[in-house]
Chains A and B, each alone.
Chain A
Amino acid sequence: MRSVRRGVAIAACCTLLLVLLVGYGTLTPDPATGRFPSNGAVAAGTVDTGDRVVVAGTARGDTTEGTVVDLDGGPRVVVRGLDAAPGADVWLYGIYRDGSIRNVRAIVRAPWEITYLYAVSLLGGLLTLGRVVRTWRVDTDRWQVVPRDRGEESDG
């Protein structure tokens, strides 16, 4: 009986999680509460002149009008008032105007900084996975995750 209740509870949590994932997907930009249109809105052409946007992409070099930025998964835009070397990762808050963006505040990072972020994060994930394997095990009789007995734990 307990295992049935547990199964129902797990199914309910999975359903609730799916509802939250879908619910979050329905959120639309609302600058008044700090949620600004992003790459998708620029790509879809749903931003108007004067709108504040937060976009991310890669700098591709300067023109007389500004810095060309390839938005992640989106179009190429010109950003005025941006100082970024070609290849730099750009994440900026700015004001959209007739197909270009005037930079207000930008975070510009060299590609290696992003590589560092993911490499060190992978290390953190592997460290945790290693500890999970050493301190927990799967009890296939009851389909539970249980701590290993003290005697089973390696204390590396």
Chain B
Amino acid sequence: MADLLTHVLSAYVLATLLSLRDDRVTPAMVTAAMVGGLVPDLNRLGLLVPSSTAESILGVPFGWDALLTVGGVAVVIALGTLLVPRQLRRTTAAMLSLGSLSHFVLDSLLLFPSGYTHPYLWPVTAAGLPGPNLFLSSARWPAAVAVVVAGSTWFVARRHGGADGSG
């Protein structure tokens, strides 16, 4: 994972720019994109309850990292979409997916010691992919760049009537 601030700000920027062209992308939908940006990192629930603990409680194999895959994220997005009114489901699903997709794109650029990424495409394939190994999750510059770009986007949205830009 790149840091979560970079992920949610990236989703904010993409959704806010979309709001300049599409009235369906309201401030609430920009928020939905930001929530989508953090969905893959729900695997960090493993910091609270390690997979090994869950395994011993349930008595079956268990891996929180399923949430850091397209399969796990798709199901969480489906759940999130079912929580909103019927007429908003399509837009909400699109915004959650936008945020999650940007998360996967950023994470696929990360540096891994083996040179192979986490198996993000599971269950389509359990293979790690050879990544470009561009930066570390703890690098400081991605968040700095994200803050500057998000601030600029907020300013542009204010001037051109996009979603409120309050992120």
Chain A positions near chain B (C-beta within 8 angstroms): 2, 6, 9-10, 13-14, 16-17, 20-27, 30, 33-36, 40, 52, 54, 73, 91-93, 104-107, 109, 113-114, 116-117, 120-125, 127-128, 131-132, 134-136, 142, 144-148, 153-156
* Mask: chain B, 49-83; 1 = CB below 8 Å from A; 0 = not: 01110110010111111110101100110110011
Q: B82 contacts A9, CB within 8 Å?
A: yes
A-B contact pairs, 28 of them (CB 8 A): A13-B75, A21-B64, A23-B123, A24-B63, A27-B119, A27-B122, A27-B126, A33-B127, A34-B117, A34-B119, A40-B52, A73-B52, A91-B113, A92-B113, A116-B140, A120-B4, A121-B3, A124-B8, A125-B4, A131-B31, A131-B166, A131-B167, A135-B26, A147-B28, A147-B29, A154-B166, A155-B166, A156-B166
Query: Do A33 and B8 form a contact, CB below 8 Å, given A21-B64, A121-B3, A132-B35?
Result: no
Chain B positions near chain A (C-beta within 8 angstroms): 1, 3-9, 26-31, 34-35, 37-38, 41, 50-52, 54-55, 58, 60-67, 69, 71-72, 75-76, 78-79, 82-86, 88, 111, 113-117, 119, 122-123, 125-130, 136-138, 140, 143, 164, 166-167
Q: A22 contacts B61, CB within 8 Å?
A: yes
When chains A and B are docked, how far (Å) is the Cα of A82 from the Cα of B11? 38
